[in-house]
Amino acid sequence: MLEIKMKVSENSFRELNDPLLNKKAAKYLFYVQVDDVSEGIPMTTNPRDQKLTSNVAKAIEDSLDSNDGYFHLKNRGIVLSAGKVDYDTQSKLVTIYFDDDDLHGNIDGGHTYRIVCEHIGEKLQQYVQFEVMTGVEDIIEKLAEARNTSVQVDEKSMAELANKFDPIKEGIQEMPFYNRIAFKQNQVTEDINNGKKLKMIDAREIVAIINMFNIEKFSDQKQPVQAYSSKGENVEHVPREPRRIS
């Protein structure tokens, strides 16, 4: 279990119980001063890697650097899933418990979180909003998809979040090109020799190639035309059992 603690003013901490009386689900809202944000929040639940050179990321950083005191109002904030949340009114510390690496962590606001972490210690008079949800393990994939709407999440990122690529990973993980396969949006790998970014292979291209030889789904009467016509449809045909490639 991972525990993350952050200092939060008592007057900014709110606990919202589920309106449908679902005792499992709850939502916690609070503001954290930038220098009090804790690093190390799990990111595996975020459907895409963060591209800090994008226009969206630059706009977030410009807003934070302006130090105008309105960042917590202009930014959508950081959304997390967690096993439990506690708030100590004496120490003014909120403790977030991450019990499951696959289900608990950052759902939305990954760019904001990474940018904020890069500015910790700069004494900016800015705050960032945190929204933490508990009891949402059963809908984590749909929740991540619904929340990530500012820049559309592609099909492979959602498939990776749902672990649909696991059979393929098992089958090709020892191949020399494995580290160049992008299973998530914006995923980048650097060459260990020179530090340069490698040209990535979209995981959907791998699925397309595999489907071309899938005799269980296709025959001389039914051709795998979606291998080149629809990357999104290819994801729906990920093999369920790993096939070792040698």
**Does residue 205 share a domain with residue 104?**
no
**Does residue 176 share a domain with residue 129?**
no
**Does residue 117 share a domain with residue 11?**
yes
**pLDDT at position 244:** 45
Pick 22 or 234 by higher pLDDT.
22
Judge whether residue 123 has pLDDT over 80.
Answer: yes
Q: Cα-flanking dihedrals φ and ψ of residue 87, to 5°?
A: -130, 125
Q: Contact, 104 vs 42, CB < 8 A?
A: yes
**Does residue 160 share a domain with residue 61?**
no
**Could you give the number of structural domains in the chain?**
2
Q: What is the mean pLDDT of residues 75-104?
A: 94
**Does residue 106 share a domain with residue 193?**
no
pTM of whole model > 0.75? no
What range does the domain containing 200 cover?
155-235
Judge whether residue 150 has pLDDT over 60.
Answer: no
**Does residue 167 share a domain with residue 141?**
no
User: Does residue 139 belong to any structural domain of this protein?
Assistant: yes
**Does residue 132 share a domain with residue 10?**
yes
Q: Return d(Cα 22, Cα 178) in angstroms, integer.
A: 43
**Does residue 130 share a domain with residue 177?**
no
**pLDDT at position 71:** 96
User: Does residue 81 belong to any structural domain of this protein?
Assistant: yes
Average pLDDT, the chain: 83
pLDDT grade for 142, boundaries at 50, 70 and 90: confident
Q: Return d(Cα 23, Cα 38) in angstroms, integer.
A: 28
**Does residue 141 share a domain with residue 204?**
no
**Does residue 168 share a domain with residue 135?**
no
Q: Which of 131, 147, 163 is the C-terminal boundary of a domain?
A: 147
**Does residue 161 share a domain with residue 85?**
no
Q: Contact, 47 vs 185, CB < 8 A?
A: yes
Q: What is the mean pLDDT of residues 4-12?
A: 93
Q: Cα(first)–Cα(last) distance of the chain, in Å?
A: 38
Classify 40 as helix, strand or coil: coil
**pLDDT at position 23:** 75
User: Does residue 245 belong to any structural domain of this protein?
Assistant: no
**Does residue 49 share a domain with residue 94?**
yes
Highest mean pLDDT among 137-141, 154-158, 234-238: 137-141
